[in-house]
Amino acid sequence: MPEVETQIRAYFDEVVERVTDEDIRIRATTERGIPIRSPRFQIRPIAAVAIGFGIAMTVLGGVFIAEAWFVPETADVAGNGVGSSTGNAERHSPGLLLLLMAGFGLLAFGMWSVRRSAGDVRQRGDDDMQTIERPETLQAPSGELTRLRKRNRLLGWAVVILAVAVMGLGAWLISDVVASDDLTTVPAEVDAALETYNAAWLETNRAAFLDATTEEYTFASDQGTYGQASQASQVGVLAYFEFELFERVIMGDGNPYYVASEQRVRFASAGTWYDGVSIVTLVETDGTWKVAQHTWVGEVP
Amino acid sequence: MSPIAAVSMVLQGESVAETTVRDESSEDQAFTRFVKEAEPRLSHALAAAYGPEVGAEATADAFVWAWEHWDRVRDMKNAAGYLYRVGQSKARRYFRPRKLFPSAGADGVDATLPILLEELSKNQRVATVLIHAYGYTERETADILGLSRWTVRTHAERGLARLQEALGVKAHA
């Protein structure tokens, strides 16, 4: 048996297919689409676009549905069990399900397109990797091959940019939805301070009112602006007070928090309900959250 | 071509079109020379690395890339080494055959050689094939693989020793 070096050379001389400059020119200038590559990587642009849109729509649809069905729309700050049911019909509308289904449909279409392109290659009997061993079967462009035709990557780049744009839009919308959730949530200690303040009003508890408000506390309405002492006396003499909370929006991302609540209130002295919006400003002083200002915009007795 | 050069040529009675055609022709010739010089080393290196089937495709793809980017490749100091990287990248796009090295019926070739080649590491195969089978220098092989001469020498020696041991053939004197 010959030496190993000789054997290796004989083996490679037999099995290695050499490439000439003519092969290269033909390969570079012939029409593309010859199935010389793995079907696994033949993803058509339409499939890429469909998959990109499908993913974005599915994610968005899922987020919206989760938000609509599982996140409560109103907060029961007063603890009186009253919440709003307004808008639930819109939130649970079939449009969200349609969005989700459309996303699934696009995804399915994209996957089907990919499978079909792979299947086309298999149907032509080109499942195995092909080599350029029959140059006479290749279609060279007419005319003398003097200049190389560059590959057009414009479509590929367009697909990539479009996919990134779609995903970016989806991420932006998702972040918007997530951020909007923050409009109804505040830290637990802030929520507790607000609840204490509301409870003081409901229970006409003057001491609790003074404890829940700062010394600079003011209450403002169309009837005027009152200080802490003045309002404390009102709290102390009110025989009956109740309110219902419909909507709550949190503004500010730290100290202070502004809590705007759509409410209706009723006093014992006047049996009718008064609708309006309370804007309560909460500040942190010495590690304790207290109400610094309360503005009532709406009907007054 | 700069405008000044173009004007100069026109004044000398030489049209810009003629010069462009001549430039293209000389570029074609330069590319042909480059292929003749680099193709054997690249073909054998990529065939040793990925098997003859994928290696041939990767080699062709790498040279097509070189043809498309000839302006860059022409001025490279180690164009063959760069194209080996291109070939590596292109090779990833192909299915790997179950048997990397097919059986061959060449006279004097042990039937187990393809199997033994597959058992070597990729760099060992390339180094052994280029240095011991085709007589390339360690420097030329190192340029292709992007490794140091000493690393390439180690790969080649170990690869050859393993093949010799497995085949029971004495080392080349």
- From B171, which residue of chain A is nearest by alpha-carbon distance? A3
DSSP string of A136-193?
A: GGS-PPSS---SPPPP--HHHHHHHHHHHHHHHHHHHHHHHHHHHHGGG---HHHHHH
**Does residue A276 sit in the same domain as residue A203?**
yes
Architecture of domain B103-173: Orthogonal Bundle (1.10)
**Does residue A114 sit in the same domain as residue A24?**
yes
- For the beta sheet containing A257-267, the strands, ordered from the edge strand earlier in sequence to the opposite edge, are A224-227, A213-221, A288-298, A274-285, A257-267, A241-251
Confidence of residue A33 (pLDDT cuts 50, 70, 90): very low
pLDDT tens per residue across span A176-217? 666 655 555 667 787 888 888 888 877 778 888 888 898 889
Q: Say yes or no: B30 contacts chain A, CB-CB below 8 A.
A: no
Question: How many domains, in total, are found in chain A?
Answer: 2
Q: Say yes or no: B131 contacts chain A, CB-CB below 8 A.
A: no
Overall pTM surpassing 0.90 (yes/no): no
Average pLDDT, whole number, for chain B?
84
Locate the domains of chain B by residue range.
23-98, 103-173
pLDDT at A149 over 60: no
Domain range enclosing A223: 188-298
Residue A274, pLDDT score:
77
Residue B132 has its nearest CB partner, among A5, A11, A21, at: A5
Chain B residues whose CB is inside 8 A of the A37 CB are 93-94
Least confident among A234-243, A244-253, B10-19, B156-165: B10-19
Q: Tokens for A11, please give them.
A: 């083996």
Chain A residues whose CB is inside 8 A of the B106 CB are 10-11, 13-14
Are B94 and A7 in contact (CB < 8 Å)? no
**Does residue A178 sit in the same domain as residue A195?**
no
CATH 1.10.1740 fits B23-98, yes or no: yes
Are A10 and B97 in contact (CB < 8 Å)? no
Confidence of residue A129 (pLDDT cuts 50, 70, 90): very low
C-alpha–C-alpha distance, residues B89 and B62, integer Å: 9
SS3 A43: coil
- The enclosing domain of A240 has a CATH number of 3.10.450.50
Least confident among A32-41, A55-64, A89-98, B27-36: A32-41
- Helix, strand, coil abundance in chain A, percent, nearest 5: 50, 20, 30
- From B21, which residue of chain A is nearest by alpha-carbon distance? A146
Query: For an interface test with B, which of A1, A4, A128 has the most B Cβ atoms less than 10 Å from its Cβ?
Result: A4
pLDDT tens per residue across span A223-280? 888 888 888 887 766 655 666 666 666 666 566 777 777 777 776 666 677 788 888 8
